[in-house]
Amino acid sequence: MASRSARESGFLKTPAGTCGQSSSWRKRRRAERDELGARLRRSLDAIAARVHGVGEVRGIGPMLALELVQDLRSKRPDGERAKRVTARARELGLILLACGLEGNVIRILVPLVVEEEDLEGGLEILEEALVDADASGG
């Protein structure tokens, strides 16, 4: 008996990324994504309140960023500090990306499948790197 191709079986008739996924499954994933984003936003807002030089926390869902500034009044970008933060975080085992026109934005994109323990560990390293970079650079 000859096997049917993907085209004949109807496999290609479903939109990419939704094969075999029910609408309830997608709703659960969306809710988990929104919950992760809200949890991450609360944590980053708390870090920004404790650590000097975080001008803004921005983004949507679990794709967020910290804007590092020289002072909160003028909001002058602090790209040098962002370099120190990313270097220190790397030493501590966390890979961060500095971006933005002035290189002063720390971009954070947490995997949707992150375990709570890993999320907490990453946030602790981020805060430690921010504090250490502040101490080492002024």
User: What is the set of domains in the chain, with CATH numbers?
Assistant: 24-137 (3.90.1150.10)
Which residue has tokens 């030089």? Answer: 53
pLDDT band at 116 (very low <50, low <70, confident <90, very high): very high
Write the DSSP symbol of residue 12. Answer: G
> What's the CA gap between 90 and 96, in Å, rounded?
7
Residue 60 phi, psi (nearest 5): -130, 145
> What's the CA gap between 105 and 77, in Å, rounded?
9
**Which pLDDT value is given to residue 19?**
58
pLDDT mean over 35-59: 96
Structure tokens at 40: 């991450």
> What's the CA gap between 129 and 123, in Å, rounded?
10
Mean pLDDT lowest among 4-13, 32-41, 102-111, 115-124: 4-13
| pLDDT, tens digit (0-9, with 9 covering 90-100), for 78-100 | 999 999 999 999 999 999 999 99
pLDDT mean over 21-33: 87
